Amino acid sequence: MKLHPVDRNALERAIEITKAESPGRARQIADKLKTESWRAVAEFAAYVAQHVSLKTRPWEFAPVDVDEDNPIPDGDDVHRRGRAIKLLRRLLKAGLSRYEPSPIEALARVEGKVLPPVA
């Protein structure tokens, strides 16, 4: 399946961001590229980058983990699936990719919002 240019761009950036995380992560990406398809490695990198940028807990979802047509859970949502679905829908509505490595920052750029400085 051919990738949309927006997705390809996000996946390329996700690989670079994930490789820059640490020397160990850079080796992991290089090793994976030897045995796995570029797309599989890029999607893994997007998964890592989103979870890092969103500071999720191990059991929580990020936009890369859900589909936009999933229903928003009612009641107790300890896995934050609802948040991930809403965020994915915002990304797609803004013309961004589900693989965006830093979803909140990307949306802020597109929506013209100013993010508070990181402490």
Mean confidence (pLDDT) of the chain: 92
pLDDT at 75 over 80: no
pLDDT in tens, 37-52: 999 999 999 999 999 9
pLDDT of residue 112: 79
User: How far, in whole angstroms, is CA 72 from its chain's centroid?
Assistant: 19
d(CA 69, CA 80): 16
Contacts of 4 (CB under 8 A, 6+ apart): 97
Cα-based distances in Å from 41 to 52, 89, 95: 16, 24, 23
Buried b / exposed e along 19-41 (16+ C-beta atoms within 10 A) = beeeeebeebbeebeeeeeeeeb
pTM of the model: 0.88
pLDDT at 118 over 70: no
Q: Taking a C-beta distance cutoff of 8 angstroms, is the pair 68, 37 a contact?
A: no
Confidence of residue 119 (pLDDT cuts 50, 70, 90): very low
pLDDT in tens, 103-112: 999 999 988 7
